[in-house]
Amino acid sequence: MAAAVGWRSYHMSTTFVAYQPLGLDARRTTHVIYSPIADFRKCLLLVLDNYHIKYKIDDWDWINIPLKVDRDTALVRELTQKADDIAWVYDHTKHPNASFLCKGAGYVAVVFQDSINVTCEDVQIAEQILQGANTKHQLSKFYRQYFGYLNEKGERCVDIDLYSKTDCDYFRFLKGRLIMEDGGNGFLHAGINLTRKHFEEIIPSSKG
């Protein structure tokens, strides 16, 4: 029996199968075959190398991974996510109005260029107003997403969505406005009028 088990383990470790990208369904409960974005393949090779996972390229130019890795669905999903994140960053840099990061004392923010351009200097001003007005929440524990707009008076304003760092996937946070079914204490919303340097509000919220 021991010999049979040993043979099976060796067989699994030396058998390679085609890589199938895996993600989670909309309810984040079931693994499903994932449709990756452009440049995914070359980014997957980088991730596999980084994880020290052996792979083979077959005659059809498909990436094949060890069977024991393929059977670890959580690992395959993680590899898929990492490769997709890198591919997204590559693609993102090609767009002229790409979102960008702003960092300062007590905050990390990503700015999305909507109806008006918002600069890191604008973010710094908004953060000074936000942190000066807030007395309840530990804002350093939240990532920020900034969205600029003009109000009915033509004044420059920003909506700020804040997400708990412990509950937020960092790369998903970079890609666009997150949809929260029930934010609870992990999601806050704030508003700042940049023209008048006025604090509008900061409230726990949910988005869906």
For 100-204, CATH number out of 1.10.10, 1.10.150, 1.10.3470, 3.30.160 equals: 3.30.160
Residue 24: what pLDDT?
54
Mean pLDDT on 67-80: 90
What tens digit of pLDDT does each residue of 83-137 get? Answer: 887 777 777 666 666 778 888 988 988 888 776 889 999 999 999 999 888 768 8
Task: Tell me how far apart the alpha carbons of residues 145 and 109 are, in angstroms, rounded to a whole number.
Answer: 6
With a cut of 60, say whether residue 10 has pLDDT above it.
Answer: no
Residue 125: what pLDDT?
95
Residue 6: what pLDDT?
42
Task: Tell me how far apart the alpha carbons of residues 146 and 157 are, in angstroms, rounded to a whole number.
Answer: 10
Closest CA to 100 of 91, 112, 115, 108: 112
- Provide the pairing of β-strand 142-150 with 107-112: parallel
Cβ contacts of 156 within 8 Å, gap of 6 or more? 116, 122, 148, 150, 193, 194, 195
Domain limits, the chain? 13-92, 100-204
| Percentage, residues of the chain above pLDDT 70 | 74
Mean pLDDT on 32-47: 73
Closest CA to 55 of 74, 34, 76: 76
Q: Which residue has the higher pLDDT, 34 or 115?
A: 115
